[in-house]
Structure 1
Amino acid sequence: MAASVQSVAKVLLRLTPSILQPLRIYQRLRPRASFSPVFPPSHTFCQAAALQEEGAAQAAQAAEALSRYREKPWAYLESEEFMEKYGSDPVWTGYRRNHKGGIPPQKTRKTCIRGDKICGNPCPICRDPNIIVHHQNVKLLEQFISPYTGMLFDPTKTGVCMKQQKKLTEAIDASRNHGFLSFQIPHVDFTKENYSNSHDAVGLTPPPPSLTSGESWYKWYDQITPDESEVAKVTTKYKAYLK
């Protein structure tokens, strides 16, 4: 009996490497599941689905807010989101463009968004999609107008790109034409001399000078000596019409 057990054990020992080698190769080639040892696999799948649903809900809310602000761009400046992000400061406060060296360039970039490509550190208007330049968005336009001169700030001060600067210029002009933005007309104090009717520009037209027969209206016209060849050409050409 003992001899038979020993023979079986020897056979199993011989077969063990041939059986274990394919199993080791399979363990190396099979993909390892990234399951947490603390939570079961079902909990991991539920958590990923919950995160995906939460991201979809946030994207839907952002799209809804963006569509709402496109119809009423002035509503964003009155929202709590804007106050938490910017406070009472203008949208361009503290903005600094990325550039080489310590001296900033003399002109801002032409545009921040070209098709699907967005440059690094876009301007204060391009970086926030909820900020829309519109002639009725008075609170936004007032942030780019100097309270002392009533003129639009230079883009080197605000940091906006040239495309948005052009939109701001057109929106401010349209807003002033529609009466949304007030502007002051400089007062000019006229003197009494400006209202006088004795000036030649507002006075009576002098009577024409009296002319005798054969005298030209302009004195300098008699001093001009015509070219005889040119006079002969004109006389020949219009001979039938001359009396």
Structure 2
Amino acid sequence: MAASMRIIRSFCTKSTLISQSFRQYQSCLLRLPVRTVQSPAALQSRCFCKAASLQDEAAAQATEALSRYKDRPWDYLESEEYMEKYGSSPVWVNYRRNHKGGIPPQKTRKTCIRGDKICGNPCPICRDPNIIIHHQNVKLLQQFISPHTGMVYDSTRTGVCLKQQKKLDKAVVMARDQGLLPFQIPYVDFSREDYSNSHDAVGSTPPPPSLLSGSSWYTWYSEITPDDQEVAKVKKMYKAYLK
């Protein structure tokens, strides 16, 4: 009986020691940092989310730039983005349209954007959404005007589509009407004779000599004798109107 009691007491002491060591181990585990292992699907979805967020940020920046230059398109030509892309040269200098053969076509395309579809090689204005044609955008309009003649460059030289070329012509005319762009007036040599009152084009025109003499205007008209029957028919037809 005494031996059994000793065995029970030794077992109880061992169990208490085991329970104490287990509790200490649990407290150490709680103090350690927890590391979660993610599955490959979760990692892939996280990468997709990051890519989508980057695309959304890029789209938001593009829409913000468009809205920024929509009301004031002339600010884009003074921005750093424009200087990095074009420098000090015009927007159409390094443009080359893709075409078959070595000879370029005589006319540019009608338009580069048809609905939601954009052609493969758009013109210098359609390829950059920040370039907006406006009559107050003087720096852009001056790039398409010859400094020697004052005429707008042809679309075959600049590569601009016909739709944008029409907008350019209207904007240049409106800017010149409002005094934003200069225009050249051809020199006319002034001569006093052309502006005098004694000039033949300005003085009174004398009457023809035939009316002064009382003769008919045409000489052959007096030689014609009308037919009496035809005259009688006409008088009978217009009898009610003749007095």
Q: TM-score range by the shorter chain?
A: 0.7 to 0.9
1:237 deviates by: 2.4
Corresponding position of 2:182? 182
Corresponding position of 2:59? 59
Aligned-partner Cα distance in 2 for 1:211–1:122: 73
1:238 deviates by: 2.6
Corresponding position of 1:14? none
Corresponding position of 1:123? 123
1:92 deviates by: 0.4
Aligned-partner Cα distance in 2 for 1:118–1:59: 18
Q: Is the 8 A contact 1:76 1:131 kept in 2?
A: yes
Q: Is the 8 A contact 2:110 2:161 kept in 1?
A: yes
Show CA shifts across 1:28-48 (max 9, x none).
xxxxxxxxxxx9745554443
SS at the partner of 1:233? helix
Corresponding position of 1:138? 138
Residues 224 and 125 of structure 1: CA distance in aligned 2, closer, same or farther (over 3 Å)? farther
Corresponding position of 1:31? none
Letter of the aligned partner of 2:95 in structure 1?
Y
SS at the partner of 2:99? coil
Q: Is the 8 A contact 2:108 2:155 kept in 1?
A: yes
1:80 deviates by: 1.0
Corresponding position of 2:161? 161
Matches within 5 A, 1:66-105: 66-105=66-105
TM-score by length of 2: 0.74
Q: Structure 1 vs Structure 2: percent identity of aligned residues?
A: 66
TM-score by length of 1: 0.74
Corresponding position of 2:201? 201
Aligned-partner Cα distance in 1 for 2:83–2:231: 85
Residues 224 and 60 of structure 1: CA distance in aligned 2, closer, same or farther (over 3 Å)? farther
Query: Which runs of 5 or more structure 2 residues have no equivalent in the other structure?
Result: 1-37
Corresponding position of 1:114? 114
Aligned-partner Cα distance in 2 for 1:211–1:98: 75
Aligned-partner Cα distance in 2 for 1:208–1:155: 55
Letter of the aligned partner of 2:136 in structure 1?
Q
Q: Is the 8 A contact 2:113 2:119 kept in 1?
A: yes
Aligned-partner Cα distance in 2 for 1:114–1:64: 24
Query: Which runs of 5 or more structure 1 residues have no equivalent in the other structure?
Result: 1-38
Asked if 1:225 corresponds to 2:232, the answer is no
Aligned-partner Cα distance in 1 for 2:87–2:143: 13
1:64 deviates by: 1.4
RMSD, matched Cα: 2.5
Q: Is the 8 A contact 2:155 2:161 kept in 1?
A: yes
State the structure with more CA Rg.
2
Aligned-partner Cα distance in 2 for 1:111–1:90: 21
1:239 deviates by: 2.8
Q: Which deviates more from structure 2 when the two are superposed, residues 69-78 or residues 198-207?
A: 198-207
